[in-house]
């Protein structure tokens, strides 16, 4: 990765962009593009920003969506190969380098497929290029373009005459705008997309040759470590630089307000210096007791949003024959990346380069510029894969750490976080409390549903403007986004169910227009954002997994209350055909036995078994999943063992079924770990989940349940996200299966053996 910028560009085929700083200067547009991108020096409206064809016919494509293990590199390579009708191996994809790739904001939120695989951006660029090449060939061959066929990087006419892409455009710009009406190849024509192409990184990964950001080495590079505060909110009183004078190789102690780091020649020297550096800290802010945290969460001032309100909820609840109510609790959870985060920064007087595993190269570039007081155009961020992230791990923070330390020593610095740095200070998945009430008519129909949720938030992705949303920025003197309490406005516009705050069974009507997935028309959903003592961020299926846990367990409680089959009750109240489709497909594949839960006549000792279902229309319309979980519960220990999962997923046309299955399998088991084990803990001063002994996770040696997957592959609909749909339904499906086995309803994640055992004992007494 120590190639020079020029070498890099030359090797990428064509010199597309001028890199003189002068050429990049000038007003950078601030208009918000789709998914909060900013216009950059690379204009996404121009075809040449996305694609280049070299003289030998190699296609170099540039994307702002990166691969961190979810398979985007391979899928995007397939996309370009498909639309351009070239073999896969002729496509060279450059991902997320701010010197050559367009600004596509953040790779997150299950947005990459919708953004790049439908009718815009990378897909549209490739389709535009194919049509442009055919037009050029028509001219060259003197045949009408509708008589030409493109295949294998060649365009052939009816006469059999042919011309290669390299001959037509090799090494030159297209000088064309992206054509919004360029025709995508149809599913029936697909030869590369839609196939289970093996992920292109496999041979290098399996043989230890793949370059992770942890492996980036730059000549003249030093090693840095940071020293985070001992308590949440602690500030620096003084730093005794002399305390590490005796440590060999120490280059510098760097202090910027409450940010402290050390730089040394070798990594182990930096570790020793960080351990030995004497710092006097002012005490922290103190933390609320974990035991009563959720009770207090409901009492805090909050920023409220009223998603839907039919205004008749209280009246209908009073009139209803039966009212069911329950409160659900979801804990803070960690991204807990396997590798503690790492980055390399090389800050020079006129130019800065950062090698980063951030999912947001352009926002990271903006924040680094801010932290250094450097012009935006002087900063280049190059994405290099880190350890699997699942949202916002320490990758962004460590990139800022590296920039600050390199800036202080004038040399490239590699920063490796310690395990404790990573876990104690990452942006946790939000803790939530969710209250549900429903009224049921005598015929078993749900006539009214009321849902009120409290979500703890602080900071988040820094975006382009907020360094303080992460620990490094906060320590360096910036403030995080916090909650400004205000009352909810009346719902207006169309229902936007981005965080799945609205259960799928609600009609979701605003001003007469109903955007929900279900039939319940007396409805109210009110959300409260509450200030969190810890940083929070978008952990895989952010707030969607929490809300879906509450909605789908509650639906099960209603089913049990009225003695209905949980699948049948769902189908009775769903209207969206695609969520109905996945529920039916999962139930059928699992050979779902139609009856009410729990299973009757269960044993009172030994091991019992049960099944549960949950479903979601992810973000309302961005992917659909249903999951049947089958578990056994050991009644003596309370230990829950998942035995079999059956998932049905509909994410529109599938780009790569193997990659999709990999995401679903991993999502289901990750969700299992989070449902059964994972919870951040703290004491009165600090986070106490700081390693794998203080934060539980399933290991590879766990007893792995069978995972069966049904992929629906509808045509005539756009591609949706796929990485977060399956995990979203796991805690609810498992919770419902535990109920199915034991009749015990657990309303707090994780369902640890201790909690299950305590609930079983409570029933006995």
Partner 1 sequence: MSKISLRVNGRVYTVDVDPATPLLYVLADELGLRGPKFGCGMAQCGACTVLVQGQPMRSCVMPMSAVGQDEITTLEGLGTPGPPHPIQQAFIEEGAAQCGFCLSGVILTAKALLDEKPQASDQEIREALGGVLCRCFTHVRMLRAIRKYAGTRKV
Quote the tokens at residue 294: 């959720």
CB neighbourhood size of 604 (10 A): 9
- List 707, 722, 738, 759, residue binding partner 1 (CB under 8 A): 707
Which CB atom, from 201 or from 588, has the smaller least distance to partner 1? 201
d(CA 393, CA 423): 9
Element holding 714 (H helix, E strand) = none
Q: Which positions from 384 to 423 touch partner 1 by CB under 8 A, shown as an x/- string?
A: -xxxxxx-------------------------x-xx----
Q: How far is the CB of 254 from partner 1 (least distance, A)?
A: 21
d(CA 650, CA 324): 31
Instruction: Answer yes or no whether residue 340 interacts with partner 1 by CB under 8 A.
Output: yes
CB neighbourhood size of 202 (10 A): 11
- List 124, 269, 536, 736, residue binding partner 1 (CB under 8 A): 269
Residue 403 has φ and ψ, to the nearest 5°, of -65, -45
Query: Is 740 exposed, middle or buried, given 0-12, 13-18 or 19+ CB atoms closer than 10 A?
Result: buried
Which residues lie closer than 8 Å to 373 by C-beta, 6 or more apart?
none
Residue with tokens 């796991």: 730
- What 3-state class would DSSP assign to 712? strand
Q: How far is the CB of 144 from partner 1 (least distance, A)?
A: 44
Quote the tokens at residue 243: 């305390």
Q: Which positions from 189 to 228 touch partner 1 by CB under 8 A, shown as an x/- string?
A: ---------xx-xxxxxxxxxxxx-xx-x-----x-----
Of 15, 104, 33, 28, residue with least CA distance to 64: 104
- List 139, 288, 563, 692, residue binding partner 1 (CB under 8 A): 692
Which residues lie closer than 8 Å to 732 by C-beta, 6 or more apart?
548, 549, 551, 552, 553, 556, 612, 614
Instruction: Answer yes or no whether residue 700 interacts with partner 1 by CB under 8 A.
Output: yes
Instruction: Answer yes or no whether residue 691 interacts with partner 1 by CB under 8 A.
Output: yes
Q: How far is the CB of 657 from partner 1 (least distance, A)?
A: 11
Q: How far is the CB of 302 from partner 1 (least distance, A)?
A: 32
Of the listed pieces 307-315, 370-378, 693-701, 710-718, which binds partner 1 according to CB under 8 A? 693-701
- What 3-state class would DSSP assign to 546? helix
Instruction: Answer yes or no whether residue 281 interacts with partner 1 by CB under 8 A.
Output: no
Q: Which of residues 70-109 bind partner 1 (CB under 8 A)?
A: 70-71
Which residues lie closer than 8 Å to 318 by C-beta, 6 or more apart?
none
Q: How far is the CB of 683 from partner 1 (least distance, A)?
A: 20
- List 323, 571, 702, 710, residue binding partner 1 (CB under 8 A): 702
Which CB atom, from 703 or from 762, has the smaller least distance to partner 1? 703
Which CB atom, from 327 or from 662, has the smaller least distance to partner 1? 662
Of 167, 176, 150, residue with least CA distance to 53: 167
d(CA 369, CA 388): 26
- Residues in the interface with partner 1 (CB under 8 A) total 65
DSSP 49: G
* Peptide bond between residue 183 and the one before it cis (omega within 30 degrees of 0): no
Which CB atom, from 422 or from 552, has the smaller least distance to partner 1? 422
d(CA 741, CA 729): 18
Instruction: Answer yes or no whether residue 248 interacts with partner 1 by CB under 8 A.
Output: yes
Phi-psi region of 620 (alpha: psi -120 to 50; beta: other; left: phi over 0): left
Which CB atom, from 490 or from 703, has the smaller least distance to partner 1? 703
Of the listed pieces 89-97, 424-432, 614-622, 668-676, which binds partner 1 according to CB under 8 A? 668-676
- What 3-state class would DSSP assign to 620? coil
Query: Is 312 exposed, middle or buried, given 0-12, 13-18 or 19+ CB atoms closer than 10 A?
Result: middle
- Strand boundaries in 503-564, DSSP class E: 509-510, 513-514, 522-531
State how far the alpha carbon of 616 is from the alpha carbons of 2, 286, 621, 693, in Å: 45, 38, 10, 33
Instruction: Answer yes or no whether residue 704 interacts with partner 1 by CB under 8 A.
Output: yes
- List 662, 710, 718, 757, residue binding partner 1 (CB under 8 A): 662
- List 183, 266, 486, 513, residue binding partner 1 (CB under 8 A): 266
Q: How far is the CB of 378 from partner 1 (least distance, A)?
A: 29
Q: How far is the CB of 74 from partner 1 (least distance, A)?
A: 10
Of the listed pieces 489-497, 626-634, 700-708, 755-763, which binds partner 1 according to CB under 8 A? 700-708
Of the listed pieces 169-177, 298-306, 657-665, 734-742, which binds partner 1 according to CB under 8 A? 657-665
Of the listed pieces 174-182, 267-275, 318-326, 496-504, which binds partner 1 according to CB under 8 A? 267-275
Instruction: Answer yes or no whether residue 2 interacts with partner 1 by CB under 8 A.
Output: no
Quote the tokens at residue 575: 């209207």
Instruction: Answer yes or no whether residue 268 interacts with partner 1 by CB under 8 A.
Output: yes
Q: How far is the CB of 676 from partner 1 (least distance, A)?
A: 12
Which CB atom, from 340 or from 474, has the smaller least distance to partner 1? 340
Which CB atom, from 502 or from 545, has the smaller least distance to partner 1? 545
Which residues lie closer than 8 Å to 295 by C-beta, 6 or more apart?
none
Q: How far is the CB of 72 from partner 1 (least distance, A)?
A: 11
Quote the tokens at residue 412: 């490239």
Which CB atom, from 215 or from 602, has the smaller least distance to partner 1? 215
- List 12, 128, 360, 673, residue binding partner 1 (CB under 8 A): 673
Which residues lie closer than 8 Å to 702 by C-beta, 6 or more apart?
none
- List 26, 160, 373, 701, residue binding partner 1 (CB under 8 A): 701
- Are 309 and 522 spatial neighbours (Cβ–Cβ below 8 Å)? no
Instruction: Answer yes or no whether residue 653 interacts with partner 1 by CB under 8 A.
Output: no
Instruction: Answer yes or no whether residue 728 interacts with partner 1 by CB under 8 A.
Output: no
Q: How far is the CB of 708 from partner 1 (least distance, A)?
A: 11
CB neighbourhood size of 577 (10 A): 11
- Are 361 and 37 spatial neighbours (Cβ–Cβ below 8 Å)? no
DSSP 98: T
Q: Which of residues 34-73 bind partner 1 (CB under 8 A)?
A: 68-71
Q: How far is the CB of 723 from partner 1 (least distance, A)?
A: 10
Q: How far is the CB of 3 from partner 1 (least distance, A)?
A: 15
The DSSP result for 175-190, as a single string, is --B--TTPPPPPGGG-
Largest distance between two CA atoms of the chain: 89
Instruction: Answer yes or no whether residue 337 interacts with partner 1 by CB under 8 A.
Output: yes
Q: How far is the CB of 422 from partner 1 (least distance, A)?
A: 9
Of 446, 353, 430, 449, residue with least CA distance to 392: 430
Which CB atom, from 120 or from 271, has the smaller least distance to partner 1? 271
Q: How far is the CB of 395 from partner 1 (least distance, A)?
A: 12
- List 312, 445, 481, 658, residue binding partner 1 (CB under 8 A): 658
Q: How far is the CB of 192 from partner 1 (least distance, A)?
A: 17
Which CB atom, from 123 or from 627, has the smaller least distance to partner 1? 627
State how far the alpha carbon of 613 is from the alpha carbons of 590, 627, 629, 741, in Å: 10, 6, 6, 13
Of the listed pieces 29-37, 119-127, 380-388, 583-591, which binds partner 1 according to CB under 8 A? 380-388
DSSP 231: S
Interface residues with partner 1 (CB under 8 A) are 68-71, 198-199, 201-212, 214-215, 217, 223, 248, 266-269, 336-340, 342, 385-390, 416, 418-419, 658, 662-663, 665-670, 672-673, 691-693, 697-704, 707
């Amino acid at each position: 990765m120590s190639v020079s910028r020029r070498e890099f560009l030359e090797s990428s085929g064509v010199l597309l962009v001028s890199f003189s700083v002068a050429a990049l200067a000038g007003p950078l547009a601030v208009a918000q593009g789709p998914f909060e991108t900013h216009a950059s020096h690379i204009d996404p409206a121009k075809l040449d920003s996305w694609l280049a064809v070299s003289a030998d016919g190699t296609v170099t494509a540039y994307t702002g969506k990166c691969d961190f293990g979810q398979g985007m590199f391979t899928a995007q390579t397939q996309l370009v190969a498909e639309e351009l009708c070239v073999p896969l191996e002729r496509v060279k994809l450059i991902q997320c380098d701010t010197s050559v790739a367009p600004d596509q904001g953040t790779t997150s939120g299950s947005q990459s497929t919708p953004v790049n695989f439908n009718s815009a951006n990378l897909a549209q660029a490739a389709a535009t290029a194919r049509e442009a090449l055919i037009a050029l060939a028509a001219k060259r061959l003197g045949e009408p373009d509708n008589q030409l066929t493109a295949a294998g990087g060649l365009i052939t006419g009816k006469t059999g005459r042919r011309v290669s892409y390299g001959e037509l455009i090799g090494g030159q710009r297209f000088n064309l705008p992206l054509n919004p009406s360029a025709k995508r190849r149809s599913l029936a024509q697909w030869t590369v997309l839609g196939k289970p192409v093996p992920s292109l990184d496999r041979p290098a990964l399996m043989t230890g040759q793949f370059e992770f950001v942890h492996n980036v080495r730059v000549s003249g590079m030093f090693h840095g470590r940071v020293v985070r505060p001992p308590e949440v909110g602690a500030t620096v009183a003084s730093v005794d630089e002399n305390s590490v004078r005796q440590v060999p190789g120490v280059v510098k102690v760097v202090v910027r307000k409450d940010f402290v780091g050390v730089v040394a020649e070798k990594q182990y020297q930096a570790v020793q210096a960080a351990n030995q550096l004497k710092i006097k800290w002012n005490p922290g802010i103190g933390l609320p007791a974990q035991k009563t945290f959720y009770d207090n969460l409901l009492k805090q001032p909050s920023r409220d949003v009223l998603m839907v309100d039919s205004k008749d909820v209280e009246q209908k609840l009073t009139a209803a024959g039966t009212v069911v109510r329950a409160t659900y609790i979801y804990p803070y959870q960690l991204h807990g990346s396997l590798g503690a985060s790492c980055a390399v920064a090389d800050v020079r007087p006129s130019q800065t380069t950062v090698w980063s595993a951030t999912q947001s190269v352009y926002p990271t570039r903006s924040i680094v510029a801010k932290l250094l007081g450097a012009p935006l155009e002087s900063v280049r961020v190059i994405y290099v894969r880190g350890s699997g992230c699942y949202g916002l791990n320490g990758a962004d923070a460590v990139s800022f750490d590296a920039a600050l330390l390199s800036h202080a020593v004038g040399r490239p610095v590699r920063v490796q976080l310690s395990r404790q740095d990573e876990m104690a200070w990452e942006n946790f998945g939000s803790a939530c409390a969710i209250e549900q009430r429903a009224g049921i008519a005598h015929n078993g129909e749900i006539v009214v549903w009321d849902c009120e949720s409290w979500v703890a938030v602080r900071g988040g992705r820094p975006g382009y403007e907020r360094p303080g949303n992460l620990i490094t920025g906060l320590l360096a003197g910036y403030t995080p986004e916090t909650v400004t309490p205000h009352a909810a406005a009346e719902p207006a516009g169309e229902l936007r169910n981005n965080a799945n705050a609205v259960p799928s069974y609600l009609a979701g009507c605003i001003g007469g227009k109903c955007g929900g997935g279900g039939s319940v028309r007396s409805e109210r959903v009110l959300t409260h954002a509450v200030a969190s003592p810890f940083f929070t961020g978008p952990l895989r299926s952010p707030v969607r997994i929490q809300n879906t846990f509450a909605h789908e367990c509650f639906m099960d409680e209603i089913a049990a209350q009225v003695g209905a089959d949980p699948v049948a009750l769902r189908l009775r109240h769903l209207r969206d055909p695609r969520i109905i489709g996945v529920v039916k497909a999962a139930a059928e594949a699992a050979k779902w036995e139609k009856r009410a839960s729990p299973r009757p006549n269960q044993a009172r000792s030994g091991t019992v078994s049960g099944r549960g279902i949950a479903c979601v229309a992810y973000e309302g319309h961005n992917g659909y999943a249903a999951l049947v979980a089958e578990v056994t519960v050991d009644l003596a220990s309370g230990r829950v063992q998942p035995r079999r999962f059956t998932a049905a997923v509909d994410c529109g046309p599938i780009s790569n079924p193997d990659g999709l299955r990999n995401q679903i399998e991993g999502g289901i088991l990750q969700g299992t770990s989070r449902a059964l084990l994972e919870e951040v803990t703290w004491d009165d001063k600090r986070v106490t989940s700081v390693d794998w002994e203080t934060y539980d996770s399933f290991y590879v040696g766990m007893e792995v349940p069978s995972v069966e997957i049904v992929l629906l592959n509808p045509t005539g609909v756009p591609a949706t996200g796929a990485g977060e749909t399956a995990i979203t339904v796991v805690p609810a499906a498992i919770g419902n299966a535990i109920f199915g086995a034991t009749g015990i309803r657990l309303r707090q994640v994780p369902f640890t053996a201790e909690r299950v055992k305590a609930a079983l004992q409570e029933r006995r007494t």
